[in-house]
Structure 1
């Protein structure tokens, strides 16, 4: 598998790899991003910056900057974003071509489904897809229910005011993903900090790649341990079924992608979802109703996914050839960033009030999980967690209110995954309602 990985990276974007290494370009050493490229990572509370709507309406594909002699494009229109995400032949996701691997340890190597191309991407995804079918995921539902109610009990015991991130939004998906992978629930605080750092672009690539090395090191060691005694989770299953095909580094990389994607994004969705629900009693009423139809609950969840779109921008794509996108001429080697948030707030998909959270909105074909061959493999697990966790939260604490005004919350300033560092809440709503 490692030889296949090396071969794929030699074939994809070989000319740019040679040029970038010759010029000394290494994204690991990039310590900041120019202001011109950070606009899609910034928000006003839960909403995109106002200029996002202006750019989308006037130029849904726009050039943000030129770096290393190549253009960086931003796609914010829904139609254009969906087209680019679906095009697996005109773009490469192989960010390894911009990162020198020479002298790097196994933990520091670049990989993962979101940053690889076929045939490697196809091979890696083939191992994961059977583990994320609805039938296989159904076995996790009782565990999710157990973890959720355990955390709600802990919140009630710690109340009446608690930090919902610390007590609920982070530990629920963290414990679930550990159960899925077959990992012990340990070093919770350490992995919370590393997870946040993995998406924090305020220091360019330095912090991102450093945090990645730490989590990959832990997971590679976990894989090595399970070689001797395979566990009951996904790691053990892959070792049992495909152990001869996957070495520790490759399997550790697969586990890393599942681990990170499985808790950091879900933690942000649970925190921001609770924040939004606290100011939308209509949505809470739907979730609380004993006889609520599954379709009604799904509407709330899908609208939360669309409206919040915590994964703000898809993995960068690099044009393999000269092409036209949204009326713009994109040159081979140019980087294309797709604003999932911008696309999901496009009237083309959301209708005339795209910036309004409407729990009764008919589900849209939103891009919160991406689209095409790089669509999130864990999308159905995330939906299951949100349905169970938010419904249970609404039933246990229907009058939950945010305990500080919006200005008092520490939203992430420059992160690929949007979130809030802490969310103080009153569990019983004894205080005046605050406006989101």
Structure 2
């Protein structure tokens, strides 16, 4: 297996492109489009020196994510993260319960246990509580502002409150788990900082697991602790940690970045404000689905070839890592005509913002419900909402694993 930057078939291996076009915070890195057109399965240099592959075409992305010959095992994949996190690191099997980094049959066991907790029906039943939480955050915005940071007052609290209630995590613990999750999401943290944050999350979840065992409540974590899933404490701690972090990080960034995009696209904001509105909860909504496609806050997903595989005419050797670029796939003109345009009239479906295959995001229906409720409610309460700073001064999360905005200062005209 190669562990140098030597070219493959006379094509130099390059790191994952991450630099976005100047002044275009919603566009994927330009190099991704070039690769998709000229070399959709291209050699990629990973931070630890491994030479693997980058996939930038929509059809090939879906193929990789649905093909059992490509695995997700933590001890086999090489990560495209920055060298600060991987330097000196040793690839090891995923800890018990971290099912996103496992293959069947281990992955299947956890997935089956959790799938019933995140059904469309259950997420729709949560809708009234999501509406209450959203209304509470809008009241807080009105009392505080203008001017307010939309991330701090609205985009982050809504999914954080929802996942805390769903899991049974005290919301007063939010500073603790949000800080640790932020460390895990940063691409410039050291390995020691990353390990310390991971241990802190485990210690927090261990306390919660013990509390749910001693005094069960009506929440998902209590169900897992006291149910018939036969999970060990280590499994419960790690499953809980995965669900907690995944339950707010992605949705918070989709809401924050989505509002930024809407404010920069007044024609599409008018569709949200004046059109037929958001589709009935639980059904595919053109506005939410197009924002998910257009923004694509997850930069990529990594798999490893478990055997020699031919992909797009290129032979992938067993043991080589393959990174699929979610933004590149979701901006593939062969699947989405004029992909760089935000268009709420676009036919629904086909994007891979939530992944594809057996590892497709477990909480995708919850994220959809939160976005379907939060976005129209925000602009109904504040129809004159606008940026409080020039758009070029909005700090983007280019230093984080999940893209978005660090802050989004907004203002509006107070009602007399």
TM-score of the alignment, normalized to the shorter chain, above 0.5: yes
Cα RMSD, aligned residues only? 2.7
Q: Secondary structure at the match of 2:227?
A: helix
* Alignment check: 8 A CA contact 1:278 1:399 kept: no
Q: Secondary structure at the match of 2:285?
A: helix
| Deviation readout 1:251-285 (Å, 9 max, x if unpaired) | 12111121111100000001001111112334333
Query: Which of residues 332, 336, 341 is equivalent to 1:346?
Result: 332
Distance in 2 (CA, whole Å) between partners of 1:208 and 1:325 is: 34
Correspondence 1:277 to 2:262: yes
Correspondence 1:311 to 2:298: yes
Shift of 1:110: 6.9
Distance in 1 (CA, whole Å) between partners of 2:286 and 2:380 is: 17
Query: Which of residues 280, 288, 296 is equivalent to 1:301?
Result: 288
Distance in 2 (CA, whole Å) between partners of 1:164 and 1:121 is: 37
What does residue 59 of structure 1 align with? Answer: 39
Shift of 1:189: 2.8
Shift of 1:246: 0.6
Instruction: Quickly say closer, same or farther: Cα 1:255–1:206, change in 2 above 3 A.
Output: same
Matches within 5 A, 1:242-281: 242=228, 245-281=230-266
Moved more, 144-153 or 398-407: 398-407
* Alignment check: 8 A CA contact 1:312 1:418 kept: yes
Q: TM-score, normalised by structure 2?
A: 0.87
Moved more, 289-298 or 380-389: 289-298
Instruction: Quickly say closer, same or farther: Cα 1:67–1:273, change in 2 above 3 A.
Output: closer
| Deviation readout 1:75-102 (Å, 9 max, x if unpaired) | 11101101000112x1221113476589
Matches within 5 A, 1:349-388: 349-351=335-337, 353-388=338-373
Matches within 5 A, 1:1-400: 36-40=14-18, 44-65=24-45, 70-88=50-68, 90-97=69-76, 100=90, 109=95, 112-203=98-189, 205-242=191-228, 245-289=230-274, 292=277, 294=279, 298-314=285-301, 316-351=302-337, 353-400=338-385
Moved more, 247-256 or 93-102: 93-102
Distance in 2 (CA, whole Å) between partners of 1:220 and 1:277 is: 40
* Alignment check: 8 A CA contact 1:96 1:110 kept: no
| Deviation readout 1:158-217 (Å, 9 max, x if unpaired) | 111100000001011000000110111023233333222222223475544442322222
Distance in 1 (CA, whole Å) between partners of 2:170 and 2:47 is: 43
* Alignment check: 8 A CA contact 2:268 2:342 kept: no
Q: Secondary structure at the match of 2:361?
A: coil
Shift of 1:310: 0.9
| Deviation readout 1:303-343 (Å, 9 max, x if unpaired) | 000001111212x2111111111222211111111111110
Which runs of no fewer than 5 residues in structure 1 stay unpaired? 1-15, 21-34, 431-436
Shift of 1:53: 0.7
Distance in 1 (CA, whole Å) between partners of 2:213 and 2:124 is: 26
Instruction: Quickly say closer, same or farther: Cα 1:304–1:122, change in 2 above 3 A.
Output: same
Matches within 5 A, 1:407-426: 407-426=392-411
Distance in 1 (CA, whole Å) between partners of 2:328 and 2:70 is: 20
Q: TM-score, normalised by structure 1?
A: 0.83
Distance in 1 (CA, whole Å) between partners of 2:191 and 2:41 is: 25
| Deviation readout 1:92-138 (Å, 9 max, x if unpaired) | 21113476589x9xxx9475222111111000001110011122222
* Alignment check: 8 A CA contact 2:19 2:29 kept: no
Shift of 1:220: 2.3
* Alignment check: 8 A CA contact 2:180 2:201 kept: yes
Q: Secondary structure at the match of 2:323?
A: strand
